[in-house]
Structure 1
C-alpha cells in the first residue's frame, strides 16, 4: 500500500507559491466572515422615546402658528402674550440654571451678563418693531402664507435633533432658528399694531431660540421629564387648534401617532433586511502608478452650464467666436422688427380696411400677424445661420481641451450627415416650440410647476445641444440620438433645467445661450476623457497579463512608499511585477533588493523583469 502524502495547509497569502490550483477555494476561506457585526439592534420603546424630540419640535411649530392666528383675529391680546412669554422665559431660565451641572464660581457674573444681554436685546427689538411691521406689508397675503410654510418646513428640516445638551456648540441649529425667525417677521407684517408685532417677535425668539435649549436640557436629565414635556406640548397644540380647525387637529393627531408609533415599528421591521458583511480580505483591482496618478473624471450634468460660463471667462478667445453671431442676432432682430412695423403692418392693415374690415379690428389683427411673421423670420435665421457658429464654438471647445483628434475620427458621408443634421435640427426646433407653448400654463403652479417646466424643456434643449455631437461626430442617426437622449433623460433634464433657467433671464440670455453650448461641449469632453481613461486601463491590464511568469520563493518583495508595484498574473504563479520604466532605471545597478540601509533602494532584482528575491534570504518584515 503506497504511503499517503499530506498536503500543507492552504494559507491566505497571494505572494506564496502553494501546491493548490489557482481557483482553489479552501474550507477555511470564510471562517472570518462576520455578518452584521457592528449593527445596532433597536428596541421599539427606546426608538419611540427617541422620536419624541421630533414630535416636540412639530408641536412647538403648531403652537406658534395657533398663537399667531389668535393674535391675528384678536382672540389673544398682545399684553397677555408678552406677559406669558416673559413669565415662561423666567421659569425656564430658573430651571435651566438650577439643573446646570457646569456652574462656575463666577456664576453671579454670568447671570448679570445674561440679564444685561436680554434687556439690551428686547430694547433693540422694541425699537425695530415699526420697521419689522412694514417690512413685508406690501406683499400679498398668498405670498406671505406660502413663504411662511416654506420657512417653517426649512426650520423643521434643519433643526438640531442631536441628543444631549451639547455645550461645545454655541449656537446649535442656527439655520433652523434663522428660518423660524424670518417666518415670524413675515407673519408679523400682517398684524395690526406695533405692540402686536413686538409681542409676536419676542415670543418667537423665546420659542425658537431659547426653548429648544431647555428641551435639550430636560432630555439630558430625565427621560420621564422629556416624555412629560412631549405630552404637554401635544395637548397644548391640540387644545389651541381645536378652536381653529377640527380637521387640522385630526390630521395633527394622526401624524403624531404615525411618527411616534408607526415609524419606529417600521424602522425595526426593515432592519431585518440589513446585511453587512465584514471580511479581512478585501478584493480590489490592482492599479498601476499611471492609473493612480490619473485624476478621476467626476461628471455632474447640472454643473456644466455654470462651468460653461466660467470656462468662457477663462478663455477670452471664445468671445471672438460668439461676437459675430450675437451682433448678427441683434441686428437681424431689430431690422426685421422695424421692417415689419414700418412696412408690413401698414400694407396689411390697408389691405384689410380696403376689404371692408373695421379699422380697429384690422390694425389689431395686423399687429398680431406682424409679430408672428417677425417670429417666423427669426426662427429661420436661427435655423440657417446660428447653427454654423454653434457647431464652430462646440469644435473650438473640444480643441481647447486637447481633443482635436476626435473631430477627425468621424466616418461617413459629409453630405448625408449635413442633411441628417438639418432635418434633425428642424425637428428639434419645432418640438421645442410646441413643448414651450404646451407647458407654459404649468408655471401657474407654484414651485412644482417651474420644476416640471424647466425639466421637460431642459431635456429637449440638451437633446438639441448634443445633437451635433451625436450626428456629425459620432455618426449616429436621428433615431439613435433620440433613443440615447431618452435613455439618459435624468442627466439631460439635470443639465437642461439649469440651462433653461439661464436662458429665461432677459437680455443676458443672448450670452447664456452660448455658454450653454460651451457647457455641453465640456460635458462631452469629460465623457470622452473618461472613456479614454477606462480604455487605457483595460489595455494596460491586458498587456500586463501577457508578461511571462516566473516562480517566486516563499517571501514577498519589498515595498516602500516611493515604489509602485503592479500585481499581475494572479491567476498563474502569484507574483509582483514592477513598471517597465522603473525596471529599466534600476536594471544596471548592482544593489541588493533587500538592502534597507543603502543610499538608493533598488526594489528590483538584476535577473530580469520579474523580481526574484535571493534564495535563503528572508524578508526582514517576516522575521
Structure 2
C-alpha cells in the first residue's frame, strides 16, 4: 500500500513539475502585465472603458457596501471560531472577495460585455490584424483602432451559464481557510479564466468546440499561468473593472503574438478557416 502511495505521489509531483515548467516557458503569465502597460500607452483603447466607467463604479461601490452591511457580522462570528483574533482581517478579505466576485459576474454579463469585445478587437487592429477581426465584424479604414470597429456579425462572448455561476460561488468558502484556501481559490479560478479570456479569439479563428478543446489542451499550462495573475488583478475591489479591460488587452496581445508565430510556421488556424484559405488560393 505504501508503495502505491509513493508511486501516486511521484506521478502527481512529476505532472505538477511538467505543468509548472511549461507555464514558465510559455511566458503567458506576463500578458496581464503587458496588457496594463499597453493599455496605458494606447489612449484610443480607453474609450470602451470610459464609456462604462460611471455605471460600473457605481455598481461596484453599491455591491461592496451592501455586502459589508449584510454579511460582515455573521461571517465574522463564524470565522472567529476558526481564526480567533485574526477573524477581523480574514472576514474583511472574504467579504471583499465575495463583493468582487458578484461585481464581476454582474458587470461582465450586463454592463461591459460589448465594451470588452471592442477592447479585444481594437487591440488586434492596433497590431495590424485587420484580416482576423474582419472575419466576424465590419472593419473601417483609418488609424483609430476603436473608431475603425464596425458592426458585429454575432455576439462572441457567452454569458455565465448557471453551472459556471454555481461553481464560482461554491469556491468562495475556500477563502475562509487562511492563505491556503485563498491560494486554492485563485488557482481554480485561474484555470478556468485563461481559456475564457480567448473566447473572442476562438470565434475569430472560426474554431469549433472540438478545435477549441484541442487548442486549449495543448496549452493547458500556459492558459492557467495567464489566468492566475489575471484573476488576482480582477479580485481587487472597484479597480477590478479597470483590470478586466487590461486583462482583455493582454489576452488580445497574446493572440496577436500567436498569429505572428503562425505566420512563422506554427499552426493555430482552425480547419474550417484553413480550408477556406486553400480554396481561395486554388481559385486564384
TM range (shorter): 0.5 to 0.7
Q: State the partner residue of 2:43.
A: 316
Distance in 2 of aligned mates of 1:326 and 1:452: 31
Deviations 1:293-321 (A, max 9, x none): xxxxx851100001111111121221122
Normalized against structure 2, the TM-score is what?
A: 0.58
Q: Given the alignment of the two structures, is residue 469 of structure 1 paired with residue 201 of structure 2, yes or no?
A: yes
TM-score by length of 1: 0.28
Cα RMSD of the aligned pairs, angstroms, is 3.5
Q: Deviations over 1:523-579 (max 9, x none)?
A: 10111111112279xxxxxxxxxxxxxxxxxxxxxxxxxxxxxxxxxxxxxxxxxxx
Q: Which residue of 2 aligns with 1:405?
A: 131
Select which of 440, 443, 446 maps to 2:175: 443
1:196-595 mapped onto 2 (5 Å cutoff): 299-331=26-58, 379=105, 382-409=108-135, 418=154, 421=156, 425-426=158-159, 428=160, 430-471=162-203, 473-478=204-209, 480-534=211-265
Cα distance, 1:449–1:484 mapped onto 2, change above 3 Å:
farther
For 1:337 and 1:506, the matched residues in 2 are separated by 8
Structure 1 counterpart SS, 2:227: helix
Aligned-residue offset at 1:442: 2.8
Displacement of 1:405 in angstroms is: 1.7
Q: Is the 8 Å Cα contact of residues 318 and 393 (structure 1) preserved in structure 2?
A: yes
How far, CA to CA, are the matches of 2:108 and 2:28 in structure 1? Answer: 26
In the alignment, the residues of structure 1 paired with residue 237 and residue 213 of structure 2 have an alpha-carbon distance, to the nearest angstrom, of 30
- Shift of residue 484, structure 1, vs aligned partner: 3.4
When the two structures are aligned, how many residues end up with a matched partner?
195
Whether the 8 Å contact between 1:299 and 1:526 is mirrored in structure 2 is no
Residues 487 and 319 of structure 1: is their aligned pair in 2 closer, same or farther, counting only changes over 3 Å? Answer: same
Structure 2 CA distance, aligned partners of 1:521 and 1:434?
28
Deviations 1:12-55 (A, max 9, x none): xxxxxxxxxxxxxxxxxxxxxxxxxxxxxxxxxxxxxxxxxxxx
1:521 deviates by 0.5
Cα distance change of structure 1 residues 501 and 535 upon mapping to structure 2, 3 Å threshold = closer
User: 1:432·1:461 contact (CA, 8 Å) conserved in 2?
Assistant: no
Partner residue in 2 for 1:127: none
Verify the 8 A CA contact 1:470 1:481 in the aligned structure 2: yes
Change (3 A) 1:299 1:486: closer
Distance 1:478 1:514, change over 3 A: same
In the alignment, the residues of structure 1 paired with residue 243 and residue 254 of structure 2 have an alpha-carbon distance, to the nearest angstrom, of 16
- Kindly tell me: are residues 323 and 460 of structure 1, through their superposed partners in 2, closer, same or farther at Cα, counting changes over 3 Å? same
Indicate how the Cα distance of structure 1 residues 516 and 316 shifts in structure 2: closer, same or farther if over 3 A, else same. Answer: same
**Distance in 2 between residues matched to 1:320 and 1:469, nearest whole Å:** 21
Give the Cα–Cα distance (whole angstroms) in 2 for the partners of residues 483 and 445 of structure 1.
35
The structure that has the greater radius of gyration is 1
- Point out where structure 2 has 5 or more consecutive residues left out of the alignment: 1-24, 66-100, 138-152, 268-284
Structure in which a larger fraction of residues adopt helix: 2
CA apart distance, 1:437 = 1.8
Q: Distance in 1 between matches of 2:117 and 2:61?
A: 25
Does the 8 A contact of 1:432 with 1:460 survive in 2?
no
Check whether the contact 1:432–1:457 (CA below 8 A) recurs between aligned residues: no
State the SS of the aligned residue for 2:242. Answer: helix
C-alpha spacing 1:314/1:462, structure 2 compared with 1 (3 Å):
same
Counterparts in 2 of 1:306 and 1:381: CA distance versus 1, 3 Å: closer
8 Å Cα contact 2:39/2:45 also seen in 1: yes
Q: Which has the higher contact order (CA 8 A, sep 6+)?
A: 2
C-alpha distance in 1, partners of 2:63/2:231? 26
The answer (yes or no) to whether the contact 1:322–1:389 under 8 Å persists in 2 is yes
1:20-169 to 2 correspondence within 5 Å? Answer: none
Contact in 1 for aligned 2:59/2:103 (Cα 8 Å): no
Structure 2: how far apart are the matches of 1:451 and 1:337? Answer: 22
Q: 1:454 to 1:377 in 2, by over 3 A?
A: closer
